Amino acid sequence: MAPPLLTLQDIALTFGGTPLIESADLSVAPGERTCLVGRNGSGKSTLLRIAAGLIEPDRGKRFVQPGATIRYLAQEPDLTAYATTLAYVEAGLSASDDPYRARYLLEQLGLSGEERPSELSGGEARRAALAHVLAPSPDILLLDEPTNHLDLPIIEWLEGELKGIRSALILISHDRRFLENLSQATIWLDRGITRRMDRSFAFFEAWRDEVLEQEEQERHKLDRKLAAEADWLRYGVTARRKRNVRRLGNLYALRQQRRDQTRAVGTVSMTLAEAEQSGTLVVEAEKISKSFGDRPIVTDLSLRILRGDRLGIVGPNGAGKTTLINLLTGILPPDEGRVRLGSNLQMVTLDQRRMSLDPNSTVAETLTGGRGDTVTIGGQTKHVIGYMKDFLFSPEQARTSVGVLSGGERNRLMLARALAQPSNLLVLDEPTNDLDLETLDLLQEMITDYSGTVILVSHDRDFLDRTVSSVLMSEGNGRWVEYAGGYADMVAQRGEGVQARAVEREAKPKAEKVAATPQAAPASKRKLSFNEQHDLKTLPRRLEELEAKIAKVQEILADPDLYARDPARFQKAMETLAALQSDLGTAEERWLELEMLREELEG
């Protein structure tokens, strides 16, 4: 067996007097793919930065084979020192690397190379950073949350790219399917120490449960009193996983029921709609269409959502998933057709942006609204401390200010507050972003135990498979098709998963067609028209203005009480947001066409 390329031995590190890592070991052999897992705040990213040589530990040894090259992907890459994304990617290449790989990777990741770093969105910066670390084909790749802010086509492309390279990998990710498909070994960082399993992440949960059960038995054997206020944070996971086995069985039954309903709706949907009892029908869309300018978002869609359904909505970025949710929930009117909402609907939207959390409030005040020390869940009153423990908060955190919570803790607090609000329709738009595995477990448990109806948008394939009863898939050009089952069932029926938007795949051929048209002047003589030059010059500024306007409207919508306080203003803000997002998409497509045309003419 080849010796490890990178080794960490007995690593320890303390922050602010509190030990973060007490005794961690890590090693990776040539070509080996290892995932590093653990709860948010356990020190995974810190350990990866130690492996990259960016942090010096208090104790322990770091060894890298002489001559081995390492590339590290940070969660928040810094591109500010570079004029363009291409310059940033090329800066990572050495003299022996293939110079064309930089442009190839940028193209595969949906970037032209001419983007200015100051104007990039979070997803675009992440894609540029991926190209930067992949282009040199290093011996070791250290990737911290590489799938954050990526849509499904890019995630699946990245999986294939990582499977095909020779580099050794150490991955941190909250995307279960991504880890299962790539990892060969699993390192678990828990309470400052590491444990290694020489199997893929697919076996992690069962292995973790065995380790925790063995620990619990040993504690009892030693007759030590369990530190209950800390142990439920870890041992509760085992019980949740076992409960989820039963829930998955219920979900499969619900999917079969949905298959039967889908087949029936195809022939007698109107009759069934009229025959439904009051409260059973949640949403009925009849031949609805919605366009922004020349771009169709929804075309002739008929859909029925019944009480208890779990509908997953999937598609590439820009397909109009959020607009579709707004149409189905009555926030945005369709251009054609009608949407009928069921009676007595109470909708709660999960705000994963966390903008509506008051940083000066305590955890307990956030959950109770500052009124007393109890919360009411499903008509039953529960003490706030007990409710906090359900979401992995310790009793000592009741008086902790929201402003000092970690990102993962804020996500859990948002989940807890959303569930505490009375509702029978839960709308979740990308709820899994930046959630750790334990919080994903909680969200999955919340959805499967929820007695109402769920409409869910997500790029997390595993999460969709664990939670939804049917998938509504964007087929392009405003066409949406419902498939019974989860994401894997949809792929089996379609023969493929989510693909990049058709307009993006067709943009380059359109640009090439200018030079290929017989009546057109030869490419070497053809020049951009005055209007094309003007658009190419002004569009970046236009994109920046649109993004700023969208951010302002999103700040208004982040107010959780806005809908109840001022429904008219809420609806106007939603319509404005949808129009701005459409304008942004149109402007981005125009800029992309012109950039490709310019490159074609200059090349």
* CATH number, position 320: 3.40.50.300
The rounded Cα 299 to chain-centroid distance in angstroms is: 26
> Where is the domain boundary, 494, 519, 536?
494
CA distances from 32 to 73, 138, 252, 511, 534 (A): 17, 13, 35, 42, 51
Whether 60 and 189 share a structural domain: yes
582 is in an annotated binding site: no
pLDDT given at position 335? 93
Is 263 annotated in some ligand binding site?
no
Distance, in Å, from the CA atom of 367 to the CA atom of 417, rounded to the nearest integer, reads 5
Query: What CATH number is attached to the domain comprising 545?
Result: 1.10.287.380
Total number of domains constituting the chain: 4
What local confidence, expressed as pLDDT, does residue 271 receive? 23
Q: Are residues 124 and 259 in the same domain?
A: no
Is residue 452 annotated as involved in ligand binding?
Answer: no
**Is 50 exceeded by the pLDDT of residue 229?**
no
**Is residue 386 annotated as involved in ligand binding?**
no
- Residue 27: HSE in the Cβ half-sphere, 13 Å Cα cutoff: 15
Q: Do 377 and 523 share a domain, yes or no?
A: no
Overall average pLDDT of the 467-477 stretch: 91
Neighbours of 7 (CB within 10 A): 17
Phi then psi for 285, rounded to 5 degrees?
-105, 130
* Residues 106, 33 share a domain: yes
The CA distance from 543 to 583, in Å, is 9
Is 242 among the domain residues? no
Give residue 289's domain range. Answer: 248-346+423-494
Is residue 200 annotated as involved in ligand binding?
no
Which of 450, 467, 494 is at the close of a domain?
494
Q: What is the pLDDT of residues 425-465, one digit of tens each?
A: 889 888 887 677 777 887 888 788 888 899 999 889 999 99
pLDDT band at 353 (very low <50, low <70, confident <90, very high): low
Clarify whether residues 441 and 555 are in a common domain. no
Helix, strand or coil, per DSSP, at residue 206: helix
Q: Is residue 485 included in any domain, yes or no?
A: yes
Q: Is residue 227 part of a domain?
A: no
Of the ranges 20-29, 270-279, 413-422, which one carries the lowest mean pLDDT score? 270-279
Number of helices (H), then strands (E), belonging to the chain: the values are 19, 20
Q: Is 45 annotated for ligand binding?
A: yes
Task: Kindly state whether residues 130 and 167 are assigned to the same domain.
Answer: yes
Pair of tokens at residue 477: 């050009």
Q: Which of 147-161, 348-362, 521-535 has the lowest mean pLDDT?
A: 521-535
CA proximity to 327, closest of 118, 503, 578? 578
Q: Are 482 and 310 spatial neighbours (Cβ–Cβ below 8 Å)?
A: no
**Shared domain check, 510 and 468:** no
Considering only CA atoms, which of 375, 342, 376, 279 is closest in space to residue 385? Answer: 375
Q: Is 43 annotated as a binding residue?
A: yes
Q: Is residue 44 part of an annotated ligand binding site?
A: yes
Q: Rounded to whole angstroms, how far apart are CA atoms 468 and 486?
A: 6
3 state SS of 380: strand
The pLDDT score that the predictor gives to residue 508 is 37
pTM of the model: 0.67
- Based on the fold, state whether residues 123 and 157 are members of the same structural domain: yes
356-413 pLDDT tens trace: 678 889 999 999 888 888 887 766 788 989 888 878 788 888 998 888 876 667 777 8
Residue 352 in any domain: the answer is no
Residues 437/176, Cβ–Cβ less than 8 Å: yes
Q: Is 219 within a domain? A: no
- At 430 the pLDDT is 82
Question: Is 92 annotated as contributing to ligand binding?
Answer: no
Q: Compute CA distances 400 → 374, 393, 410, 434, whole Å.
A: 17, 10, 12, 21
236 found inside a domain: no
Percent over 70 (pLDDT), the chain:
80
Q: Map tokens 């206020």 to a residue.
A: 229
| pLDDT on residue 260 | 54
Is residue 39 a known part of a binding site?
yes
Q: Is 183 annotated as a binding residue?
A: no
3-class DSSP state of 92: coil
Tokens matching residue 296: 């169709």
Q: Rounded mean pLDDT of 204-216?
A: 87
Q: Are residues 269 and 339 in the same domain?
A: yes
Q: What is the mean pLDDT of residues 25-54?
A: 92
Q: Is 495 annotated as a binding residue?
A: no
Under 8 Å between Cβ of 432 and 148: no
Assess whether pLDDT exceeds 80 at residue 258: no
The tens digit of pLDDT for each residue in 55-97 reads: 999 999 999 999 999 999 998 888 989 999 999 999 989 888 8
Confidence of residue 224 (pLDDT cuts 50, 70, 90): very low
Instruction: From 421, 441, 457, give the residue that closes a domain.
Output: 421
Q: Do 377 and 440 belong together in one domain? A: no
**Quick check: 170 and 31 in contact, CB under 8 A?**
no
- DSSP 8-state class, residue 2: P
Query: Does residue 272 register a pLDDT over 60?
Result: no
Q: Residues 482-530: pLDDT tens digits?
A: 998 889 888 888 877 776 544 343 333 333 333 333 333 333 345 677 6
Task: Give the residue-averaged pLDDT of 43-52.
Answer: 93
pLDDT at 205 over 80: yes
- pLDDT at site 524: 39
The string of DSSP letters for 250-317 reads HHHHHHHHHHHHHHHHHHHHHHHHHHPPTTTEEEEEEEEEEEETTEEEEEEEEEEEETT-EEEEE--T
Kindly compute the dihedral angle of the four CA atoms of residues 515, 516, 520, 522, in this order, to the nearest 10 degrees: 60
Task: Kindly state whether residues 112 and 191 are assigned to the same domain.
Answer: yes
- Residue 522 confidence (pLDDT): 38
Question: For 269-306, b where at least 16 C-beta lie within 10 A, e where not — what string?
Answer: beebeeeeeeeebbbbbbebbbbbeebbbbbebbbbbb
Q: Annotated binding residue at 529?
A: no
Q: Are residues 70 and 128 in the same domain?
A: yes
Q: Give a yes or no: residue 63 inside a domain.
A: yes
Helix, strand, coil % (nearest 5) of the chain? 45, 20, 30
pLDDT digits (tens, 9 = 90+) for 526-561: 567 766 777 777 888 887 888 888 888 878 877 767
Work out the average pLDDT over 3-14: 94
Whether 315 is covered by a domain: the verdict is yes
Answer for the pair 276, 318: CB distance below 8 angstroms, yes or no: no
Q: Compute the distance between CA of residue 339 and CA of residue 345 in angstroms, rounded to an integer.
A: 14
Tell whether 167 is in a known binding site.
no
Q: Is 40 annotated among the ligand-binding residues?
A: yes
Asked if the model's pLDDT at residue 105 lies above 80, the reply is yes
Burial (CB count within 10 angstroms: exposed 0-12, middle 13-18, buried 19+), residue 545? middle
User: Mean pLDDT over all residues of the chain?
Assistant: 80
344 is in an annotated binding site: no
Residue 235 has pLDDT above 70, yes or no: no
Query: Does residue 234 carry a pLDDT above 60?
Result: no
3 state DSSP class of 474: strand
